[in-house]
Structure 1
Amino acid sequence: MKINTKDMVLVSLFAALTAVGAFIQIPIGPAPITLQVLFTALAGVILGSRLGALSQMVYVFLGLVGLPIFAGGTGGISTVFTPSFGYLIGFIVGAYIIGKISETTKVVNFTRLFIASLTGMVVIYAIGVPYLYIILKDVSGVGISVAKALKIGMLIFIPGDIAKCILTAVLGVKIIPIIKRQAI
């Protein structure tokens, strides 16, 4: 994969934005409400599948090597055993899916970007919730049901994440034409 300087800067920018989004949080349980989903979705919409996923890989890699950039100011390899780590894996796949769907249209519109963001959000949940369940049940020894994992790992996040998908679509409709015009 050949990456030019502009791509490196944009990938780094979205990795940094995702890190900042981790610190803007509402702690509500094993996985806090953050702005990470917003920046993950924007990375997919604006950078596309390949670079959007790469930005999230850079973010996760930096956290795994020890920078305290994950939610709650955590970092290091031990975070693999935290309930919320599955969502970080989901960010990579989600950004890729969002980017793929966004790339398939020549005309940028709100509906297409909203559907792409919503699909990416579903992918993040599909990876994050089972991971949360397994870590809580099998690693931490917490007595938790699948229904409880769905409640604490997905249901409480849905309203805010839908709002983030709407914001992503609104921003994407405004930003993408500017980027194309300026050949940024």
Structure 2
Amino acid sequence: MTAIGAFIKIPLPIVPFTLQIIVVYLAGSLLGSKRGLQSQLVYVLVGLAGLPVFTQGGGFMYVLQPTFGYLIGFVAGAYTIGLIIERVEKPTRKHFIFANLFGTAVIYAFGVTYLYVALNLWLDVPTNLSHVLAAGLFSTVGVDIVLAILTSLLATRIYPLFNTIHSTKRGVQNELSNTSSRSY
């Protein structure tokens, strides 16, 4: 799903705007910290292995792209969102909004930092922080905040279904482990 979101894009200078972030929000909100992290990590590793799942292709050299930090942020963001939601017994819309907005901050922290370092160190494009913030934060963060809120509304509706599925699965696994540990 993240790869599909990568190809639904609006081209902007330096940092293209894609719908990948919606999948990151849903991964953290619905899959939880561990599985959300795993889903995004698999996406990044598949892209680094050479499959063209990133907005500009794939391959290990993609780590030199100035936008690679956002991909690292997706992994950390999904984990953070999941961690916040897992801490609440019955998350509400407010919990999902807070978690996704906090996850947005995590994604941008990794993305903007990496963008600044990449441009100034190995791409030899000397730029100041205000230019990096304009291109890597201010040009897209408003839309991402709206998407975080809209995705939170969707996650609020879907989460009870996922929670029921996970609870049922855990119950079946517990029952199977209890059955297998009994002596006959």
1:18 and 2:10 equivalent?
no
- Distance in 1 between residues matched to 2:103 and 2:134, nearest whole Å: 19
CA distance in 2, matches of 1:26, 1:18: 16
Aligned counterpart in structure 2 of residue 43 of structure 1, from 27, 31, 44: 27
Match of 1:13 in 2: none
Matches of 1:53 and 1:80, distance apart in 2: 19
Aligned to 2:178: none
Question: Which residue does the alignment assign to 1:143?
Answer: 126
TM-fit CA distance, 1:181: 3.4
Runs of 4+ aligned structure 1 residues displaced above 3 Å come to: 181-184
Q: TM-score, normalised by structure 1?
A: 0.88
Task: Provide the secondary structure at the position in 2 that maps to 1:177.
Answer: helix
- Percent of aligned positions with the same letter in both sequences? 43
What's the CA shift string for 1:7-55, capped at 9, x where partnerless?
xxxxxxxxxx110010001110221000111101110000000000000
Match of 1:70 among 51, 54, 57: 54
Unaligned runs of 5+ in 2: 170-184
What's 2:18 paired with? Answer: 34
Decide which of 52, 56, 61 is 2:36's aligned counterpart. Answer: 52
Q: How many residues align?
A: 167
TM-score (norm. length: structure 2):
0.88
Report the residue type matching 1:33 in the other structure: F
> Which one-letter code corresponds to 1:102 in the other structure?
I
SS in 2 for 1:106: coil
The one-letter code of the counterpart of 1:41 is: Y
Which of 108, 113, 116 is the aligned partner of 2:91?
A: 108
Deviation of 1:180 (Å): 2.7
Trace 1:87-166 onto structure 2 (pairs within 5 A).
87-166=70-149
Q: Aligned letter for 1:168?
A: T
